[in-house]
Amino acid sequence: MQREEQKFVADHPKSASLYERAQRSLLGGVPMNWMKKWAGKFPVFVAEAHGAHFTDVDGQEYVDLCLGDTGAMTGHSPAVAAEAIARQSKQGITLMLPTDDAVWVGEELARRFGLPYWQFTLTATDANRFSIRIAREITGRPKILVFNYCYHGSVDESFITLRDGVAGARRGNIGPPVNPTETTRVVEFNDLGALEAALAHGDVACILAEPALTNVGIVLPDPDFWRAAAEIARKAGTLLILDETHTICAGPGGYTREHDLRPDMLVIGKPIASGLPAATYGCSAEVAAKITARIHLEDCDTGGIGGTLAGNALSLAAMRATLEHVLTPAAFAHMIPLAQLFADGVAAAIAGANLPWHVTRLGCRAEYLFHPHAPRNGGEAAAAAEFELERFMHLYALNRGVLLTPFHNMALMSPATSAADIAAHTRAFASAVHELTG
């Protein structure tokens, strides 16, 4: 690790100097707090990014398997989106009035995800927050339910975990507004008995869930989990909100369409406008009718749902270009086999060294975990994390021109990613494993 840290510092003098200068104007020396989480003494400062690659200010080139933690799953600045953004930016950026792109995008989202009505926000966090508000409003219930070690953005209610079976604030939760047990019930993923018991209290407005957990490593649902969970929710009068922000990796209609799930509401953000701030949430006709009946014209701007820049013309132009030309079925047909190639390369190195690790794939996303088999829930996955080992693997890859996300060991494919890019990771991973195991 010391050798890799020294190499990193020696290879990045300009990033080092920018980071030092940034200490005087940016809190923690970065524009956003978790940009510090990269392995290595400081973050790499980017000069430019195209497709699946970027170049840093020191002239080093990288294969990007982080892709802005899914914000750039489209590849960086896909030409057709960049053109739409440039065009719209000269024709009005934000108006508080709709453009025809909004109608096209609403129709396309309905076609892809099977829910008829849509609204827009700037972040997936906001889309989740507003969906929760709607669920609370129409059910008249105060609480939500999440799965242990979920992540849905900076949604206050979601920062709760189970420790030895007892719910409490998640480690690192900064300034929680209230104890999250007041707002939230939390159970382990894939535990239908616990779900049923939690909903039996009759106070849960909605389940907010990723169809497969992706933010504590990948945790796949048991084959019958969602059919049974949806039935339990329906009987309890609890709405089901599926957050597809990461699981869009499963296919053009997300995990929802791939597996024919029927949520009451659905959220997706991040790559939907090729990385320009934009997100959306959709709802069923029943939810739409109930919430519409409760929003009165005079108060509709002060109801706690909204954002001045939400639904702006620029985001919608980018969303239209992205949905029409970038995140297409053909793109997924290219990306998914590449994730399999990544997983095969990692699995071969793990098997070759007899390591008690494994790799999981979900669509065009793959992830390795320092554990012999796939975890069934967030608690198991979190217990298998090895922060120092993770940092070593990330830094080792970075020093050989491959960027993984700074959170766990995730790799994502874009339409611009190539087999040669994956081979670069496979070489770096195999070499790290070889050095670790002697």
* Nearest distance, CB of residue 121 and ligand PLP, angstroms: 9
Query: Which of residues 66 and 432 has its CB atom nearest to ligand PLP in the complex?
Result: 66
Q: Provide the minimum distance between the beta carbon of 155 and ligand PLP in the complex, in angstroms, as a whole number.
A: 8
Give me the phi and psi of 361, to 5 degrees please: -125, 145
Spell out a b/e string for 148-163, using b for 16 or more CB atoms within 10 Å of the CB, else e.
bbbbbbebbbbbbbbe
Q: Which residues pair with 114 in a beta bridge?
A: none
- Check if the beta carbon of residue 395 is closer than 8 Å to that of residue 39: yes
Residues that bind ligand PLP (CB under 6 A): 69, 123-125, 151-153, 210, 215, 243, 245-246, 269-270
Residue 347 one-letter amino acid: A
What does DSSP say about strands 410-412 and 365-369: parallel, antiparallel, or unpaired?
antiparallel
Which residues contact residue 220 at a Cβ distance below 8 angstroms, ignoring those fewer than 6 apart? 212, 360, 362, 374
- CB of 282 or CB of 345, closer to ligand PLP: 282
We find the least distance from the C-beta atom of residue 283 to ligand PLP, in angstroms, to be: 17
Residue closer to ligand PLP, measured from CB, 236 or 248: 248
Q: Which is nearer to ligand PLP, 68 or 303 (CB)?
A: 68
With respect to ligand PLP, which residue has the nearer C-beta, 12 or 270? 270
DSSP assigned state of 222: P
Q: How far is the CB of 127 from ligand PLP (least distance, A)?
A: 8
The residue (of 125 and 414) whose beta carbon lies closer to ligand PLP is 125
Q: Which is nearer to ligand PLP, 210 or 421 (CB)?
A: 210
Which residue number has the CB closest to ligand PLP? 153
Place of tokens 């076609």: 111
CA dist list (Å): 353 to 291, 430, 432, 434: 56, 9, 11, 7
Are 365 and 412 in contact by the 8 Å Cβ rule? The answer is yes
- The answer to whether 42 and 30 have CB atoms below 8 angstroms apart is no
Q: Least Å distance between CB 438 and ligand PLP?
A: 37
Instruction: Please state the closest distance from residue 372 (CB atom) to ligand PLP, in A.
Output: 26
Neighbours of 300 (CB within 10 A): 10
Minimum Å gap between C-beta 269 and ligand PLP is 5
